[in-house]
Amino acid sequence: MLIVMQHGATPEQVRRVVQVIEEMGYQARPMPGSQRTAVGLVGNDGRVDGSRLAGLAGVKELIQVTQPYKQVSREWKQESTVVRLPGGLAIGGDEVVVMAGPCSVESEEQILTAARAVREAGAAILRGGAFKPRSSPYSFQGLGLKGLKFLARAREETGLLVVTEAMDPESVGLVAEHADIIQIGARNMQNFPLLKRAGRAGKPVLLKRGIAATITELLLSAEYLLVEGNHDVILCERGIRSFDPSTRNVLDLTAIALVHELSHLPIVADPSHGTGRRDKVIPMARAAVAAGADGVMVEVHPNPEQALSDGAQSLYPEQFTELMRETRVIAEAIRRRVAEPLPVPIGA
């Protein structure tokens, strides 16, 4: 970290900065310049809380030289993390993994119909929320435990693995019991008690980028999971809020390439929440795979007009089948392939 002093800062103020750095257990390297002095803080292990220094008299700004996260960084671990799932499915390797299904689990019949359709088209993982984070308390809130049981049934019948959201620390255990991947939603990306609990749940976690979160913040949230001992973390770019209301969010494709540089963790894209518009989901899903996403998560509903949430961005099953076809071609063009779904369990 570099502490830049104001023009005209006194030698006494510089000395005080040096003293505080040493009190914090680091070494200080004052660098007098023609305009102003800067003080280098060395021995920084990526965990310096600069707030004490920022408030000192004569300090103009702090410049971070190293990243504030550690275990999630490529510097910490060179080789890409491959998250291994039951049945040999893996996220972060050569294969692009497609997760698909409705926004919400609405009934047993709805989730089973959706599961059969997305499996038929070639998805490997079934998505569907049982606990729904809705902007309005009057909107459908999800079926809760009943929804988890329907998902587990769909898994038994189709062989699809299941990803579903846990909204609070209390529901993490239940979600972990019924699902293969615990989803942390965008609104909860910085719910630190939830992250800590999910980090101890013994199941992979899909961490969605917050609605207005920087990439550094996303990686810091992932760091919480790794610090708790969970290394099976999949990041998800799901669009960020912008000034332009033309689409629900702006899918940040650069984040995919950037995260691959900064971190060893896999990253998938969610073009459904990223665009909010059915007709834009397909081109953005294609683009995400081309940009190097390790997977895509897409909302598909057997009957989008009747959906209890996010119908406008949910694909019709036929559209999803077409998207799968295109995704296979794009994956091949970048020397990857789309993961096949696991075999249907015997006796299902």
Contact residues for ligand PEP, defined by CB under 6 A = 103, 129, 133, 185-187, 208, 238, 270, 273
Q: Least Å distance between CB 127 and Mn ion?
A: 9
Q: Least Å distance between CB 15 and ligand PEP?
A: 49
Residue in 82, 171, 180 with CA at minimum distance from that of residue 132: 171
Tell whether residue 167 is a contact of Mn ion (CB under 5 A): no
Beta carbon nearer to ligand PEP, 1 or 111: 111
| Part of the chain binding Mn ion (CB under 5 A), chosen from 41-49, 57-65, 216-224, 308-316 | 308-316
Give the torsion sign (CA, 114, 151, 234, 246): positive
- Which one of 103, 105, 215, 300 is in contact with Mn ion (CB under 5 A)? 103
Q: Least Å distance between CB 185 and ligand PEP?
A: 3
For residue 290, what is the enclosing H or E element? Answer: helix 278-290
User: For residues 125 and 265, what is the distance between their CA atoms, to the nearest angstrom?
Assistant: 19
| Part of the chain binding Mn ion (CB under 5 A), chosen from 171-179, 210-218, 302-310, 326-334 | 302-310
CB 323 within 8 A of CB 111: no
Please enumerate, as own/partner, the contacts of 342-346 that have beta carbons within 8 Å and a separation of 24 or more: 342/86, 342/87, 342/88, 342/89, 342/124, 342/159, 342/160, 342/161, 343/159, 344/157, 344/158, 344/159, 345/156, 345/157, 345/159
Beta carbon nearer to Mn ion, 67 or 272: 272
Beta carbon nearer to ligand PEP, 280 or 336: 280
Residues 6+ apart with CB under 8 A from 287: 253
Give the torsion sign (CA, 206, 211, 215, 220): negative
Chain residue at closest Cβ approach to ligand PEP? 185
| Part of the chain binding Mn ion (CB under 5 A), chosen from 2-10, 45-53, 245-253, 310-318 | 310-318
Count, residues near Mn ion per rule CB under 5 A: 2
Q: Which does 203 bind (CB under 5 to 8 A by kind): ligand PEP, Mn ion, none?
A: none
Q: Which does 133 bind (CB under 5 to 8 A by kind): ligand PEP, Mn ion, none?
A: ligand PEP
Q: Least Å distance between CB 308 and ligand PEP?
A: 12
Question: Per-residue b/e over 199-226, b at no fewer than 16 CB within 10 Å?
Answer: bebebbbbbbbbeebebebbbbbbbbbb
Residue in 208, 87, 236, 106 with CA at minimum distance from that of residue 155: 87
Q: Least Å distance between CB 62 and ligand PEP?
A: 32
Beta carbon nearer to ligand PEP, 48 or 195: 195
Residues in contact with Mn ion by the rule CB under 5 A = 103, 310
